[in-house]
Each structure stands twice: as structure tokens, then as C-alpha cells.
Structure 1
């Protein structure tokens, strides 16, 4: 078929088109699977997988392209250059190898994705157009620019998407990952096929030999079978590659499983060794140090610490193992409040693994702590004691972020549990050692006690003694063997009554504080003891033992007996002393106590001294009271007169204050009037000054008007002088008229003489005569006007001169008025000065009067206080007189002199 100018129309075999799409999808799936195999392969096998995968993937893409080319047919014979076809395979293989390499990398940046996609797309487009170049036929090939660019863009876009999909799906091996790979392969296959058929649509074929155009039925069968053969071969190659990948995946999974089992075995062995090394010592410090050291070596990390919580919040780092070059944190206190979720997580035994602390979303305070400790990644596991969170085991990676492996996290969790157990055992051992030390200290204290201590067994019959200290043997004289198994009652003597025994039983049953008991030594001698019994109870509150403490108080009892006899003797002597001085209570100071030997004799002597001193004092008081009575009687009248005079003075001062207050009010009124007068005079002065300034302005205005009038008079005079010139001109014009008139007469005469020849001159002479007549009239009018001007000018000049005279007189009058105002202003200023002086004087007088009033008030207050004080003194003297009388009456009852009967 022909289109236009020998443009060939193309057709497609739909079966081969479908086969090409199937090959494209299968090749895409193979590429995604090979990307995962290359990623999972070790370094030695990775290169082989890259080369083999690139070849297989390139052959699959090329096969899809070539089968699609064979599906294309034109109405003329076509063939393909074999070498060119083989060369077109190379860009596909190279692009496929590059794509597999990029997809197998750990990180694929956006720039790597874009550049790799562009290179891969250009390689596929190059493969396509080199393959089209391999076509041999009697026609030329052209391309539509838009579709050509679109096909290259589709190739690049499909390559970028395929590369991104391969990178994202490389590690997925689950069923969901398989379905995702199939869907991605369908998308990639459709994109590759779309690129190919868009590129084919861009081609334009023009026949160069119209006779070569034939029906393509003859060659269809052979091309179809060639396409089918290539397709089957490609499917076999891709299937073999997928089978190889599947087998390698199974082998890799088996190897990985074996490796995991080996790692698990090694980890178990390492765990056992570390556990044994941690538990090698039961000392708490050794357990802490060995734990952090062994864990750091097992994880090959930079720092391992043990963090212990404090009861009051926060915690301390109590153990650390750190590599050289990093911050040491041992002993530091960390105040970082934990969230409730974190505490619950740790109580449940979970481990927190942080690969990168900068992207973990920690609080600002926690980030600061991590920064100060140079932490980039960490593991945190709880340390539990009886299900209580007591601390944390922390592993720090300081050099860089770290992806913690599951095996490392599991090992760390198990080691944290063993560290918690080891710490618990060490704490138990430490507590046991402390308890043993306390027990040893208690035994030494009981052994060193001076009191006898014994313990009885409440479970045995008769509550026998099962322990006693050395002091028991010292006090009682019984040895340990003799006391054990016997009840405490064996120390009681035969003379101990049943009441005492019952009291001891009550002391034991009631756990009383103490009971004084008379006991007997082994040799039979008695001794007094103070017995204290306390029960010992078990965890259920049941009494299991009794502890008794026996204190030897024999010496204290003997001292109490001696003290009792001394007390009785002192009481007898004291009664005798009281009988001797009994009359002193009735006022008889002449009595004397008998002085005996001992303390009472000293007291009697001291009491005699006191009575003698008291007698002397009473005698002196009597004399003083009499003198006071006499003095108060003499001075009370004078003090009363002083009080009366003070009251009189206070009354006079009060009247003076009232008069001064009236005078002060008058002075203040004068000051107020003077102040108002000063204000009026000040206002008048201001107005006079204002009037003077107005007069100055008036004089200046008159002078200005006088100057203007003078200039006007000068101008009027100048007009008069000018009018004089007009008068001269009028005279001149009259003369000219006379001469002209004379000339006209002469001309008329000459014309008359000349007769007819002189008629023209006669007419001229008449015209001249008329002009002269008119000129005379005009001249007369000008003369009349000039005379009027002269008259008016004279009158104006006279008026101006008269006005000037009047203005000068007015200016003189204003100057006289100004002088009078200045005199008034001067007088006002003098009056103002005098009024100000009066105002100042009145203010001073007011202040002086106020000062006088203040002083008089103080004097009045002093007089009032004097009067009050005089009254108080008078009353005090009266009271003193009464007290002196009472005192004289009181001391009168005392007998200070002995009278002989």
C-alpha cells in the first residue's frame, strides 16, 4: 500500500506484539529478582551476579525489542544486518548492568537515581534505534521529531521508575513482596513496550523503488517463526536465570540459617562465659566492674555503664567501662525524669535500641545529656530486683550512629538479666555480711555489758534459760553450765515470799520495765537486783523468747539505807531549830537558835546572822519612816503653792496667746490687702507701659504722615512750576497766532494784488486765518484751565502746610502725654516697691507672730506639765506620807530590844 508520495504503511502481528509484551514483563520481573540477589550476594559472588544479571536482563530487553521489530511489517521485502543487530544488544546489557549495580547499593540518593535512570533510558533508546538501523529494505527511514523525543523521554522515565522499584523491592522475600514484584514488573513491562512502540510510530518509511512493493504475506511465516524462536529462547534464558536465582536464594537462606545457628551457638557460649566471669566474685564492686567490662567487649562498643536510681529522683552512674578518648561519666549524677511509658516498658523487661539519637525524638533535656556524654547510638536495658526497677544497663556508641542487630539486642537483654541477678546476689551477700557484722558487734556488746543478760525459751516447759552473758556469771557466781536449763527463780532465796514470785511472773507476762528483787549469790550471800524482762516475737507476733536484764543494785540499796538514817537525824535537829526561832515569826527579833555540830549547826548560825541583820534593818526603817513623815509635812505646802503659781502662769499665757492670734489675723489681712494693691499697681504699670508704646507708635505714624504730606506738597509745588511752563507755552502760542494771523493778512494782500493768479493764495490765507482763530480759542481755554490749576494748587499747598502744622502740634501733645505717662509709671513703680516692702514686712511679722505663738504654746505646755508634775509630786508626797506611816506602823510590831523583867 502507498500513502502520499510513496510513504509505506506498516502493520503489526498482534500475536508477536503480545509475545513481546510478555517478554518485557518477564524481563522486568527477572530484573527485580536479580537486584535482590545482587544485593544479598557476598563480595566474591556479587561481581558474577552483576555480570550475569546484566547479560540476562539485557538479552530479555533486546529480545522484547527484536520480537516487536519482527511483529512490524511493510509492503516490501525486509532483512536485518546481523552484526548491527548484535551491536544493538550491547547498550541494553550495559544499561542493565548499571541499573543492577545502583539497585544493589546501600543508599540510593536522588541524584544517583536521576543520573542512573537517564543513562539507562538513553541505553535502551540507543538499543532501539540501532536495531531499527539494522533494517535493510528499498526505502528510506525518517522520524517524527515529537514522537522521537517522546519515545526517549518514555525510556528515561521508565528507567527511573524501574530503578527506584528495583531498589525498594530488592530485600522483599515474603508473599506480599512477591505480589508487589509482579505488579511492578507489569508496570515496567508496559513502560518498556510503550517506549518501543512510540519509537516505531515515530518512524516514516518512503519507498525508493516502487516496483519492490509487494504483498508481505510471503515473508510473514518465516519472520513469525523467527520471532517465536527468539521469544522461546529468551523465556528459557530468563526462566533459567530465575531458577538459578531461586536456587541461590534457597542456598543463601540455608547458609544464613546455618550462620545464624552458628552465631547463636557462639552467642550462647559467649553469654555463658560472660555470665561465669561476672559471677566469679560476689563482691558488689567486682560484679559492677566485671559486668560493664564484659558487656563492652561482647558488643564491641565505646562505653557501657550501670545507672542506679536514687530514692529522691534522678540517679548516679555507679560503674563504667569506656574506651580511650571518650568522656568518663563514672560517679556523675544524672537528673533526667523518665516518662511513665518508659518506666512501664523497662519494668516489662524490654530493651530500647536507638540507632541514631538525633532522629529518635528525645526531649531537649535528654538530648543535652546525650550530647554531653558524646552518645550517637545506645542500648538501654532494665536491671530488675524482685520486679522493681532499680537501675539501667546502658551501652553507648560514641563514634557514629549504629544499626543494632537483633542478636546484639537479645544478647544485651540476657546480659542485663544476668547482671541484675549478679547484683542481687552481691547485694544479698553484702547484706548478709553486714548482718553478720551487726551480730558480731551485738555479741561483743552483750559480752562487754556490765549488766547480766539472759534469754529464756518460751516454748519449753518452765521457760528455762538458754543463754546468759559473762556478766551473769560475775554477778550471780553461777557458771554458764549451771545456769542453762534452769528458771530464773533459782536465784531467789528461801525467804522470798509468794507475792514476790507472783510479781516476777507478772513482770514476765506484762513485759514490765523493771522489778526490784532480792536474790542470792552461789555462796548464799544476798544481793539486790533490778530485773527487766522483754518478750521476743516472730513474724506472726507470737512470743518465742524472753530477754532479761539484771542490774546489781546492792550498793544503791545500802546507800539508800544510810541516807534514810541521816534523814531521820536531820529531821530531829531541824525540829529543835524551828522551836528556837519560832517567836521570830511574831516579830520578836531578839530570839537566838542553839548552835550544834553538823549541817543544822551551820544553818542555825546562818539563821542567827539573818535575824541580827533583820533587827538592824528594822531599826533603820523606823528611823527613816519618822524622818520621812517630818519632811513630807514640811514640804507639802510649798509644793502646793508651786502648783497654784504654775496654773496662774498658764492662764496668763493662754490670754497672751489669744491676743497674739488676733494680731496675727490682722497682720495677715494687711498682708492680703498689700498683696492685692501690689497686683493692681502691677497691672496699672503694665497698662501704662502699653499706652506709652501706643503713643510711640502714634508719634511715629504722625511723623510718617508728616513726611508723606511734605512729599505731596513738594509734588504739588512741582505741578505748579510745571503749570508755569504751560503758561509760557500759552504765551508762545499767542505770539505764534499773532504772527500767523499777520502772515495770513499779508498773503491775502498779495493775492489780491495778484488778481486771479492769487486766488489760491487767498484761499490758503483764509484757511490760515480760520486756524489762527481756532488756535486762539484753544489757547484761551488752556489759559483758563491753567488759571484754575494755579488756584487749586495754591489752595492744596496751603491746606498741606496747615495740616503739617497741626500734625506737628499733635505730635508735641502726644510727646507731652507720653512724658506724663512715664512719670505716672515711675510713681507706680515706687508705690509697687513700697507695697512689696509692706507685704514682705507683714509676711515677716506673720512668721514672727507664729514663732512667738509656737514658743508661747511650748511655754504653756511646759507650765501645764509643771502644774501637772506639781500635782503629781504633791499627791506622791501625800502617798509617801501615808506609806511612811504604814511602814512605821508595820515595823512597830518588831521587838528589837530585850527588856529585863
Structure 2
């Protein structure tokens, strides 16, 4: 079994890396500011981002494979090639859903990055299984090293891009993502030998390099077009939502005095795409949601652009209590306090209102402060 000599096209290798970079930029940019959007829009944006990132992984791989030169003619199984693309898209989509619909803790970010790294590996090895008239023979060091690089660099990319969401970190995360995709492919290829395979085991129809090139070119143009579309959002400064006269008056009243009594503080929120101000006396509690917060009233849950640190700075001097690193409660609206050993929670009157947890370190202080309210404490 003779090992085939291989070489690479420098131009196509460079183009593969460019496509990975553009795909990473497009996918990570599509998921900016999703906390401000309704659930349906979040799902659409995550779907598009998964196609951009997963499809970019696939396009990078096969552009590089088009640049792979062997002394024999070889083809691709079209069905396996399609499965490799769908696998990458689905795994990336799972990671993005985890990041945008679960509490974004450091552990969740690491798990999401690891899932994307696995997606790159799955896509690569399924894609390689689609080769016809030649066969890839893998080495253990090549598989192990490429796997470690894939998962490690993807965790780093998502840690940078999602640890603190800014334009700068998204761009740095883009570079890390592209490096991860390209490194995995070429490290895996470096640890792979190719041998001629005289017979063809067909799973799906055969596809020549020319046909594959047409598909890759088309998808690459789609990615580049989407990249131009999202890049506009980096150039145009966000415009403030129009504020009615009543809201402007409320805003001026908010800034008039410091500290502001809890009954007078106006909290800027959004409801159905419109900016509104909610009086702090009507707020039951505030919950962290990524780099933003959710404001709960008796009947509504509203989006607020304040991060939890800003909410703490504004609301704690106004009489609110921080019961947990992710929760700030209005003590005057707490219906009762429940304690079970080293756990506690504040409960509120209202249908379907979740309780606000009390962390163990704050348990005694919160219980003491709420004890003065009639009927608030139940040990």
C-alpha cells in the first residue's frame, strides 16, 4: 500500500483562511445585542449565525481540499459531503442556543466553545470520509493534537467573544475562530496519509472537484455578502429610540437629584420595540440577563439596557437590596421571605412570578432587613 505524495495550492490555502475569517466575523456579529430582541428574532439570528459559522467551517475545509494535489484522480461522495456540512451547522447552532438561552456563566461559555470545536472535528472527519478512489489513513498523534487544538482554540474564541460583548472582543474572537478552523484542518492533514483505493463504495452520487468548486464558490459569495451586510452595523452609530415628551420629562426628573428616592427613580426599559420608563416603586425585582437585565413588575417582564452592575449602582442607594449577584429586589414588594437551612428566597405576589434567590453569604443580612416588614419573614 503506497502512500501518495501530496502538495497544496498556496492560493487556495490562503482563500480557505480568508473564508474562515469572514465566516467567523459574520456569525459572531449576527448574534450581537440579541438580549434586546424578541424570542423569534433571536431564533432567526441564531439560525443565520449557525449557517454562517458552520457553513464557513465546511467551506474552509473544501476550499483547502480543492487545493490538495495528488498524483491520482479522486472524487467526493455528495451525500457524505452534505452530511458533513449539516453536522457542523447543527453543532454550532446547539452551542449558540446554549449561549443565548441559558445563563451565560463561564462554564456555559466553555461548554459552548467545546461543542463548536467538536463540530469542526466532526465536519472534518466526515468530509474526509467522503473521498472516493483514495482513502485517508490517520495517525493517533494527528487526531489527538488536532482535537486538542480545535477544542482549546474554540473555547478561547468564545470566551473572548462572549466573556464581555464589545465590538473589539467580537473581532478578536473572530480571529481566534478562524485560527481554530484553519489549524485543525492543516494539523489533521499533516497527520494523515493518503492511499489509492481502486474500488468505490457508493453512499451517494459521486461529485467531481469541478462540481464541488461550484458549490463552494456559491456558498463563499453568500458568506461574503452576509459579511458586508453585518459590517454596516459597525459603521453606523446606533440611533436612540424616539422618546415622547412625557418620557423626556421623566428622564429630566430622574437626573435632577442624587441620590433619588426609590419612589421617584425612573428605570429605562423597552416594551414591544418602544422605550418606556418604569417607576422603581412598581418594580418587584431586577434579574441579570447576560450583559443586560430583565425588570419584573406585577404584570410584565421588561428588557433594560443596564447591566446588573449599573442597576446596583442606581437602585441600591434608592433602597433596593441585592440578594444575589444576579438579583436586586425591592424590599417593599417582597410578600414573604423563606429560609431553608443555608438557602433563602424572596417571594412576590403575582401570577407566574419567579422567586428571587438569596445567596448564602447575604442570607442573614437580607432576613434582618426584611424582618421589619410585617408578614415578610417566614423562617
Instruction: Give the TM interval when normalised to the shorter protein.
Output: 0.5 to 0.7
Distance 1:396 1:354, change over 3 A: farther
- Alignment partner for residue 249 of structure 2, among 268, 275, 281? 268
Instruction: Say whether 1:238 aligns with 2:220.
Output: no
Instruction: Say whether 1:258 aligns with 2:262.
Output: no
1:35 counterpart residue number: 31
The one of the two structures with greater contact order (alpha-carbon pairs below 8 A, sep at least 6) is 2
Partner of 2:150, secondary structure, is helix
Mapped contact 2:27–2:49 kept (Cα < 8 A): yes
Within a 5 Å distance, the mapping from 1:201-220 to structure 2 comes to 201-209=190-198
Mapped contact 2:146–2:188 kept (Cα < 8 A): yes
Distance 1:377 1:181, change over 3 A: closer
Distance in 2 of aligned mates of 1:292 and 1:114 = 39
Distance in 2 of aligned mates of 1:187 and 1:100 = 17
CA offset at residue 81 of structure 1? 0.7
Distance in 1 of aligned mates of 2:264 and 2:106 = 43
Distance 1:49 1:292, change over 3 A: closer
Distance in 1 of aligned mates of 2:228 and 2:56 = 15
2:176 counterpart residue number: 187
- Alignment partner for residue 316 of structure 2, among 378, 390, 396? 378
- Alignment partner for residue 136 of structure 2, among 138, 141, 149? 141
Mapped contact 1:67–1:230 kept (Cα < 8 A): no
Distance 1:399 1:118, change over 3 A: closer
Instruction: Say whether 1:95 aligns with 2:91.
Output: yes
Mapped contact 1:302–1:398 kept (Cα < 8 A): no
CA offset at residue 46 of structure 1? 0.7
CA offset at residue 40 of structure 1? 4.5
Distance in 2 of aligned mates of 1:223 and 1:269 = 65
Within a 5 Å distance, the mapping from 1:206-355 to structure 2 comes to 206-209=195-198, 223=209, 227=213, 229-230=214-215, 232-246=217-231, 253-254=238-239, 257-259=240-242, 261-262=243-244, 265-269=246-250, 298-300=279-281
Partner of 2:65, secondary structure, is helix
CA offset at residue 187 of structure 1? 3.2
Within a 5 Å distance, the mapping from 1:756-795 to structure 2 comes to none
Partner of 1:253, secondary structure, is coil
Distance 1:61 1:253, change over 3 A: same
Instruction: Say whether 1:46 aligns with 2:29.
Output: no
Distance in 2 of aligned mates of 1:19 and 1:230 = 15
1:9 counterpart residue number: 5
Distance in 2 of aligned mates of 1:209 and 1:13 = 25
Distance in 1 of aligned mates of 2:103 and 2:9 = 43
Distance in 1 of aligned mates of 2:112 and 2:171 = 23
Distance in 1 of aligned mates of 2:262 and 2:157 = 49
2:150 counterpart residue number: 155
- Alignment partner for residue 78 of structure 1, among 74, 78, 102? 74
2:354 counterpart residue number: none
Q: TM-score, normalised by structure 1?
A: 0.28
CA offset at residue 32 of structure 1? 2.3
Instruction: Say whether 1:126 aligns with 2:122.
Output: yes
Instruction: Say whether 1:65 aligns with 2:27.
Output: no
Mapped contact 2:31–2:45 kept (Cα < 8 A): no
CA offset at residue 129 of structure 1? 0.5
CA offset at residue 205 of structure 1? 2.1
Mapped contact 2:157–2:172 kept (Cα < 8 A): no
Distance in 2 of aligned mates of 1:45 and 1:247 = 19
Distance in 1 of aligned mates of 2:33 and 2:251 = 32
Mapped contact 1:31–1:166 kept (Cα < 8 A): no
Distance in 2 of aligned mates of 1:181 and 1:118 = 18
Structure 2: unaligned runs, 5 residues or longer: 200-207, 267-277, 285-308, 329-379
Distance 1:66 1:38, change over 3 A: farther
Mapped contact 1:34–1:100 kept (Cα < 8 A): no
Distance in 1 of aligned mates of 2:283 and 2:60 = 55
Partner of 1:98, secondary structure, is helix
1:799 counterpart residue number: none
Distance 1:251 1:300, change over 3 A: farther
Within a 5 Å distance, the mapping from 1:657-676 to structure 2 comes to none
Partner of 1:204, secondary structure, is strand
Mapped contact 1:35–1:170 kept (Cα < 8 A): no
Mapped contact 1:31–1:57 kept (Cα < 8 A): yes
For residues 764-788 of structure 1, the C-alpha deviation after alignment (integer angstroms, 9 at most, x for no partner) is xxxxxxxxxxxxxxxxxxxxxxxxx
CA offset at residue 232 of structure 1? 4.0
Instruction: Say whether 1:199 aligns with 2:188.
Output: yes
Distance in 1 of aligned mates of 2:112 and 2:241 = 37
Mapped contact 1:24–1:192 kept (Cα < 8 A): yes
Within a 5 Å distance, the mapping from 1:356-395 to structure 2 comes to 356=312, 378-379=316-317, 395=318
Distance in 2 of aligned mates of 1:17 and 1:251 = 33
Structure 1: unaligned runs, 5 residues or longer: 211-221, 276-290, 304-352, 358-375, 380-394, 405-901
Distance 1:182 1:249, change over 3 A: closer
Mapped contact 2:30–2:48 kept (Cα < 8 A): no
Distance in 1 of aligned mates of 2:48 and 2:101 = 17
Mapped contact 1:71–1:224 kept (Cα < 8 A): no
CA offset at residue 252 of structure 1? 9.9
Instruction: Say whether 1:397 aligns with 2:346.
Output: no
Distance 1:292 1:224, change over 3 A: closer
Distance 1:396 1:27, change over 3 A: same
CA offset at residue 90 of structure 1? 1.3
Question: Could you say which structure has the larger radius of gyration?
Answer: 1
Distance in 1 of aligned mates of 2:190 and 2:149 = 13
For residues 382-410 of structure 1, the C-alpha deviation after alignment (integer angstroms, 9 at most, x for no partner) is xxxxxxxxxxxxx1013646899xxxxxx
CA offset at residue 24 of structure 1? 1.0
